[in-house]
Structure 1
Amino acid sequence: MPALDTALDTATLVARARDGDVRSYEQVVRRYQAPIYRLALRMLSSPADAEDVVQETFLTAWRRLSQLHDDGAFVGWLYRATTNRCLNVIRARKPVADVELDTRESPSPDGRPERAAETGAQMSALVSALDRLTPEQRACWLLREVHGRSYEEIARAIGTTATAVRGRIARARAQLAEVMSPWR
């Protein structure tokens, strides 16, 4: 069997997958698994929960490909499904008094331990600040600032208007700027 052309665009791969080509869908999964996982991990702060959400999202997408009428809309559909699943997980969680996050410091590229410690403290503060945002604010901020989605795409992903998305992002940015001000 010939190797699948890696230069195919996502819409073509999705169209082939809808026609039953499992290898095309596998390529779509390989292409988007990492960014979707990063989104889920940042929203949920739990690698296990993020892995579950990603697996469920791709499985559901495979099962529902026939419902997608515009192959070019697949990526937005995938982000929307992931965001909604993450929001459902967050809403279903019971409040936890002490949540332990993985804030291990990565080695400093310049070899200076004090710089590594400062970077670790910044990342810890950012993770903590993101956890204090509402789930909707966190989703909007991550989709915009980390994943580069447009306001319209985010609005479709979380089922609101672009104006509401802009407001949530503005509030999230203000909160994050306040928390992160010591590192400016």
Structure 2
Amino acid sequence: MTVESTDGAESPDEAGSAAAADEVALVARAVGGDRAALDEVIRLLQDPLYRLALRMAWRPADAEDAVQEILIRVVTRLATWRAEAKLLTWAYRIGVNYLLNLRRQTPQEARQLSLDEFRDDLADGLAEADYQGPEAALLAEEVRLSCTQAVLQCLERGERIAFVLSDVFELSSADAAWILEVSPAAYRKRLERARRRIRAFMDSTCGLVNPEAFCRCARRVPKAVAIGRVDPDRPVFTAHPVSASGRGVAEAAVQLSRLHDAAAVLRAHPDYAAPQSKVDAIGALLRSGRFPLLE
């Protein structure tokens, strides 16, 4: 899909104070050829942009490919940043535009699976009791993290990114509207559609949100393992590296235990880190002369 655009879209309300002097100085040094400054810019942006890509692309392998492309686009356009927004907010705009127009579909997108169909899918094969086998707690958490990723894929991309920016990344409406290049009113309308659909699904389906709902992560484990959505030997989300100063699986679970609304369940993921191998590859590409660096 193409990003909706508004001519002369206003910068975020916080832009005046958001573009801190140290960010401006750092970017100036990077644009001027300081490799250490460029590496610092990449370090600041790599994990947030990876988490954005992961929420939109679902699978880590696809998110890794996407963040590599996004970071290259960000760095090669760095000279165009005019401090109209925070550096990360500006980078999100580039990342969102790339992700919304990505030709590759996620499996859920390819199946065009609706939230109603996904609810039926979760009900099929749900065990009568919690799974008690090896690594029961870890596998239940893997089911939760995988399921909340899948829920987002049932939204069309415009609604998905609106929900992710606001209710997962907790950006202001002004910032999110600026990232999407739409008016704040148009953004709020899109966000409310996404919220309404997510709330209805989670309230009718997810026992973490509504104790009366039918689905329980621990009861979904046997079916998820049987159909290959969860691999006990190679968990995707519970074993994923996290940022050095970010929250891990346990911290996210503790946060979730205190909050039981739909947005909190989808937000309570670890602070995943971009794979260092991909980051190193980006640095090598930028130094290879293949890209017109900072032009």
Q: What TM bracket, shorter-length normalisation?
A: 0.7 to 0.9
Letter in 2 for 1:74: L
Judging by fraction of residues, say which structure has more helix: 1
- Shift in Å at residue 116 of structure 1? 5.3
Tell me, in whole angstroms, the C-alpha distance in 2 between the residues paired with 1:65 and 1:113: 46
Tell me, in whole angstroms, the C-alpha distance in 2 between the residues paired with 1:56 and 1:96: 22
Q: 1:40–1:54: 8 Å Cα contact kept in structure 2?
A: yes
Tell me, in whole angstroms, the C-alpha distance in 2 between the residues paired with 1:9 and 1:48: 33
Deviations 1:29-69 (A, max 9, x none): 11221111011011111222212221122212222222222
Unaligned runs of 5+ in 2: 1-20, 114-133, 210-295
- Cα gap change, 1:163 to 1:71, in 2 (>3 Å): closer
Are 1:87 and 2:100 an aligned pair? Answer: yes
Alignment of 1:11-26 (within 5 A): 11-26=24-39
- After TM superposition, the structure 1 stretch with the greater mean CA deviation from structure 2, 74-83 or 43-52, is 43-52
Other structure's SS at 1:96 match: helix
Q: 1:43–1:139: 8 Å Cα contact kept in structure 2?
A: yes
| Number of the residue aligned with 2:268 | none
Moved over 6 A (4+): none
Letter in 1 for 2:111: A
- Cα gap change, 1:98 to 1:137, in 2 (>3 Å): closer
Identity of aligned residues (%): 32
- Cα gap change, 1:113 to 1:56, in 2 (>3 Å): closer
Give me the TM-score of the superposition, normalised by structure 1: 0.76
Are 1:97 and 2:111 an aligned pair? Answer: yes
- Shift in Å at residue 85 of structure 1? 0.8
Tell me, in whole angstroms, the C-alpha distance in 2 between the residues paired with 1:54 and 1:121: 24
Number of residues of Structure 1 aligned to a counterpart in Structure 2: 164
- Shift in Å at residue 133 of structure 1? 0.9
Are 1:68 and 2:81 an aligned pair? Answer: yes
Q: 2:162–2:187: 8 Å Cα contact kept in structure 1?
A: yes
Give me the TM-score of the superposition, normalised by structure 2: 0.49
Tell me, in whole angstroms, the C-alpha distance in 1 between the residues paired with 2:168 and 2:38: 25
- Shift in Å at residue 18 of structure 1? 1.6
* Residue 51 of structure 2, aligned match among 17, 31, 38: 38
Unaligned runs of 5+ in 1: 1-7, 100-111
| Number of the residue aligned with 1:3 | none
Structure scoring higher RCO (CA < 8 A, sep ≥ 6) equals: 2
- Cα gap change, 1:113 to 1:173, in 2 (>3 Å): farther
| Number of the residue aligned with 2:176 | 154
| Number of the residue aligned with 1:133 | 155
Deviations 1:82-139 (A, max 9, x none): 11111111x553853399xxxxxxxxxxxx9766565455444422321111101111
| Number of the residue aligned with 1:179 | 201
Tell me, in whole angstroms, the C-alpha distance in 1 between the residues paired with 2:198 and 2:141: 16
